[in-house]
Structure formats: C-alpha cells, structure tokens
Amino acid sequence: MATIEVGDAQRAKFEKFLSDPRSPEVTKLLKIAVASADLKIEDLGIYWGVTVCPEKDIFARINVSNRILFDIHMDCLVVVLVLTHEFGKGRLPKWLQLSSGFPKIEGSRTAIFKNLSAAKKAFGMKAFNQAFIAHSKTQWRKLPNSKWHNPLTNSFLI
C-alpha cells in the first residue's frame, strides 16, 4: 500500500462523504465491489484507489490504473464496468441494463443500477462478479497521480 499525503481538498471531500447519512450504506457497497473485483489491499494507492466526492454528482468511485471501474452517483445510481463475454452465452440476466463501455476494450460495457440494493443483488451473482473482475484486470499499471486515491478512505477499506 502506498503512502499518499492528504491534501486539504481530499480532507474536505472525505468529511463531506462522512457527513452524508448514506455513507455507511455506500461504504458497504464499496467494500463489496473491492472484494468482488479481487483488488488487493497491498496495491491500494498504487494500482487502484478510491475517491469520495471526486466530482459534483459522484459520491464514490473506484479507479483502477487510469480508468474508472465503479461509480456511485449522488442520487445513488450505480455504474459498474464489466466485460460481457465473461457472462457466457445465455447467462446475461434480463434485468441487467447495459450501455457502451470503454471503446478500446472488446466487450466493455457499463452496467447501470438504479440504486444501491440493485447493485448489491448483481454482486451476489457469480457471472456478474467474473465480468467485473475481468474488467478490473484489463489494464494494470500505476495510478496516474495521488488524486486517483484518497488515503482517508483506507480507514474503512482496511
């Protein structure tokens, strides 16, 4: 795990996150997503990271390398990147809504869930987890800079 200094902006965003009454439920889903993507704690802050309130309408985000893997919006819409070929033929759930993902990654799709509980349901599916893990491994290089991980999130990730 990398040692990253905490700036004033990161501290303010973390405090904003913690002060929101939804933060405990969002934290649980972040932990589920990290476990489902098979992200290792020793790589935290080096190859993957978590940011909170990184943008006006984003509540929490998981970054892998220089890509967004998972977003929770302020309205609790959840966006997850998956590789559809990992679902296998006929194993794609009918309730799963997919849109385009990263154009340079074959099979990359964005799964969009209307709320946290719908996303939790998806993470309970083996095929969905395989597709999520596969997308998390499409690129494995260091985070571009310290803004791609807020080290204060380590307090609830570790």
What is the extent of the structural domain holding 82? Answer: 8-157
Residues in the chain: 158
Tell me how far CA of residue 117 lies from CA of 91, 128, 129, 136, 154, in angstroms.
21, 15, 16, 22, 23
Tell me how far CA of residue 126 lies from CA of 45, 69, 87, 112, 134, in angstroms.
27, 18, 9, 18, 12
Do the domain assignments include residue 2? no
**What local confidence, expressed as pLDDT, does residue 4 receive?**
64
Identify whether the C-beta of residue 64 lies closer than 8 Å to the C-beta of residue 51.
Answer: no
> Which pair of tokens denotes residue 5?
């200094």
Q: What's the total number of domains in the chain?
A: 1
- Residues 111-145 have pLDDT tens digits of 999 999 999 999 998 889 999 999 999 989 999 99
Do the domain assignments include residue 90? yes
Query: Has residue 89 got a pLDDT over 80?
Result: no
User: In terms of DSSP H, where are the helices of 20-76?
Assistant: 23-36
Instruction: Kindly report whether the global pTM for this prediction surpasses the value 0.95.
Output: no
- Residues 142-158 have pLDDT tens digits of 999 988 999 999 999 98
Do the domain assignments include residue 1? no
Do the domain assignments include residue 93? yes
Do the domain assignments include residue 3? no
- Residues 1-41 have pLDDT tens digits of 656 678 899 999 999 999 999 999 999 999 999 999 999 99
